[in-house]
Structure 1
Amino acid sequence: MSSNINRSRLDRAGVARVLVAAGFDPARVAACEELGAATYNTAYRIRLDDGTGLVLKVAPDPAAEGLRHERDLMRTETTFYRTAAPALPVPGVAYADFSREVVPRDYLLMTELPGRNWHELDSGVRGADRGRLRRELGALVAGLHRITGDGFGYPQLGLSGSWREAFTGMTAVLLDDAVRWNAPLPVPVSRLRSLFDGNADALDEVTTPVLVHFDLWPGNVLLHEGRITGIVDGERAFWGDPLAEMVSLALFGGIEDDEAFLAGYGGIVFDDGARRRLALYRAYLYLIMLTEGGPRGYTGADRDAAVEHITRHLGTALSELEPSPL
């Protein structure tokens, strides 16, 4: 899979301008390196001469093609860190600028958190350690979901009065993008719309908007010395159903089987409505993953293998949304 063709990069002078705007002396930079794991924004690790660590994230060119819900994501990430800070170990916002005057991109300068992401370390996290960390993560996510908002949906796109209205709008926009980018879908868009609409009544069970990260796969969880030290990459956040969080927490799997996480979180009742909502959110996330390859220019054998894998799991989610036979 090739990298995102829309990613932006700053030269040394651009990084220096950002640091000056944030109140840091560029002469104090002891090291600056691009972090290769980023796939949407571009991230740089900056080390000052006193050992202070910073991370600079730079958004893609605002004129570049992208999915419609991806507009102004860095503003959402900044809001997420500031809002979630009482509940989660998130980076501190050192400086954020969306004027595009210092550099022609949105950017966010954050404090660096200790640790490496769980995805990189996963081969060394096994047995009791894994269970303990999953319980710890469950407790952290429960704290995040105690933060409530005034409306539902993506903050950068405007909030709705109900979760049904918000999520229906989110899926409609995504399916329009899927058509625009000729996404490799396993069934016609008309069938997808019908399945989403046919299960929308389950969304009415959600009456309180909570803060949802929506990208809590192990790559966005930092570990250090046997503890969770960071939750990062909050640009996909929205106000909505806490059950939506469970999709990325068990990507291509089932949170229902994660006893350690559920023990830390406090338990979830997986009744019919909850299961249908989980299937809706899984389908939504998998559709994003299939569609985003268009504007990002993903190609190659790795992309083909990813599409096959995602499509298989999307098919499972869609089957759970089919009407029950009489």
Structure 2
Amino acid sequence: MESITKNRQSPDTLRVMVERAYGADRVPVGDGWVSELGHGWFNVAYRIRLRDGAEVVLKIAPPPQVEVMTYERGAMSTELATLELLRTHTVVPVPAVDFADQSHELCDADYFFMPYVDADNLGIIAESLPVAERDAYMEQVGAANREINSLRGKAFGPLVGPGDPSWRRVFTRMLEDVLRDGERRSVDIGWSYDTVRAVVAEHAGSLDEVTEPRLVEWDLWDSNVLVGDGKVVCVIDHERAFYGDPLIEAGFTGTQLAAFGDPAAFMRGYGHGELTATQQVRRSLYGLYLMLIMVIETVYRGHPDTKQYDWARPKLDDAMTLLGRTRQ
């Protein structure tokens, strides 16, 4: 996915970054040692073959002059903190961090290196798999997501703080940040921004049922899952994690928005039954939040076409319908 947030660097700069991380004797020479992993939507990632033949991935945060959405600020710091939590407190397979640099001495943004994982991206191969095999993978994803959600926080909100004891306050602030991002860039969401605010206020009471902060990935789609030989090999891309309500996780999105696929296998693996009435309201708010982001981020990413916007805008209408608003 092409995006102006991808902070591409020259081969010379990449070699210097490799030297700092792994030492001069492992710096690649010749040609063909680097390729861009183009599947991501936000950070640039390179697959690099070191001089000794080992393969690693370099992930670089967006350049400082590119405006990102409010919730994306400091995303790489969040990812590094999340990886540390998951490595030390769960058995969920995540990448090791070989080296991280937040000094901005060699590059104008944060970056880190991790080993390259030789596995298939579930999001890419899912449609080619037999249904039973795909469902088996999604059950494993559900189980892994449940384990991630088992980690408790001291307060709701960002991993690095500040936190708040009220999930209602945290989530409504998160959603308001997205609305302000859209207003700042005059993004046409198809609705009055104040109408969206009114809908959220009408249903915000459902958020008070959530009283225990849990670690949530929020971005755990099948495209962030690497698989092989019938097993989930690695879960990647943790930069959007926070302490919140597990029901906001991506795997539950299809319970109400059919365009995101059948969630049955994920929910079996997670061990979650039918949603209660209050949970359905909360899930509708979370679907609205997601669709607002998917519409508004197209302007911030500078997409070369309107494909994502055209797909997401009707889904935003669907999310509003779930909350009692229909277009006149």
Same fold (TM over 0.5): yes
Counterparts of 2:160 and 2:298, CA distance in 1? 22
1:171 partnered with 2:175: yes
Between stretches 168-177 and 212-221, larger displacement belongs to 212-221
Is it true that 1:15 corresponds to 2:17 in the alignment?
A: no
Cα distance in 1, alignment partners of residues 190 and 184 from structure 2? 16
| Pair 1:282-2:268 in alignment | no
1:113–1:62 Cα change, 3 Å: same
2:320 counterpart residue number: 318
* Matched AA of 2:296: T
Q: Secondary structure at the match of 1:22?
A: helix
DSSP-derived class of the 2:108 partner? coil
Confirm or deny that 1:137 pairs with 2:136.
no
Question: In structure 2, what residue type is equivalent to 1:69?
Answer: Y
Aligned mate of 1:84, from 83, 86, 93: 86
SS in 2 for 1:184: coil
Whether the aligned pair in 2 keeps the contact of 1:217 and 1:249 (CA below 8 Å) is no
Q: Which residue of 2 aligns with 1:224?
A: 228
Mapping 1:171-320, distance limit 5 Å: 171-246=175-250, 250=254, 252-253=257-258, 258-300=263-305, 303=306, 305-320=307-322
Deviation at 1:178, TM superposition (A): 0.8
Which of 95, 102, 115 lines up with 1:98 in the alignment? 102
Match of 1:161 among 165, 188, 212: 165
1:24-79 deviation per Cα after TM superposition (whole angstroms, max 9, x unaligned): 33644372211112221110111224442211111111232121121111111111
2:146 and 2:207 map into 1 onto residues whose CA distance is 20
What is the alpha-carbon distance in structure 2 between the residues aligned to residue 274 and residue 152 of structure 1? 18
CA contact (8 A) 1:21 1:102 kept: no
Please say if residues 253 and 263 of structure 2, whose CA atoms lie closer than 8 Å, have aligned partners that are also in contact.
Answer: no
Shift of 1:158: 2.7
Deviations 1:60-103 (A, max 9, x none): 11232121121111111111111122232111111111121232
Output the CA distance in 1 between the equivalents of 2:16 and 2:5.
Answer: 22
Do 1:77 and 1:234's aligned partners in 2 also have CA atoms closer than 8 Å?
Answer: yes
| The 10-residue stretch of structure 1 (65-74 or 247-256) with the greater mean CA deviation from structure 2 | 247-256
TM-score, normalising length: structure 1: 0.91
Kindly provide the CA deviation profile for residues 163-216 of structure 1, in whole angstroms up to 9, marking residues without a partner as x: 111101101111011111122212100000011111111111111111111112
Tell me, in whole angstroms, the C-alpha distance in 2 between the residues paired with 1:175 and 1:26. Answer: 49
**Structure 2 gap ranges (5+):** none
CA contact (8 A) 2:253 2:287 kept: no
Q: Unpaired runs of 5+ in structure 1?
A: none
| 7, 32, 35: which one aligns with 2:34 | 32
Q: Tell me the equivalent position of 1:56.
A: 58
User: Whole-Å Cα distance in 1 between the matches of residues 149 and 273 of structure 2?
Assistant: 13
Alignment-derived partner of residue 116 in structure 2: 112
For the residues of structure 2 that align with 1:292 and 1:183, how far apart are their CA atoms? 9
Q: What letter corresponds to residue 78 of structure 2 in structure 1? A: T
1:222 to partner: Cα distance? 0.8
In structure 2, distance between residues paired with 1:260 and 1:27? 43
The aligned residue for residue 67 of structure 1 is: 69
Tell me the number of residue pairs that the alignment of Structure 1 and Structure 2 aligns: 319
The superposition leaves residues 106-156 of structure 1 with CA deviations (integer Å, 9 ceiling, x where unpaired) of: 111112222121121123212221221121111111111111111212335
Structure with bigger RCO (C-alpha 8 Å, 6+ apart): 1
Query: What is the one-letter code of the residue matched to 1:9?
Result: R
TM score, norm. by length of structure 2: 0.90
Distance 1:39 1:256 in 2: 20
Is this contact kept in 2: 1:117–1:220, CA < 8 A? yes
In structure 2, relative to structure 1, the CA distance for the partners of 1:248 and 1:112 (3 Å cut) is farther
Superposed CA RMSD in Å reads 2.2
Alignment partners' CA distance in 2, 1:157 and 1:297? 30
8 Å contact 1:216–1:249 — kept in the other structure?
no
Q: Which has the higher mean CA deviation after the structures are superposed, 94-103 or 202-211?
A: 94-103
Q: Distance in 2 between matches of 1:3 and 1:127?
A: 30
For 1:139, the aligned partner's letter is A
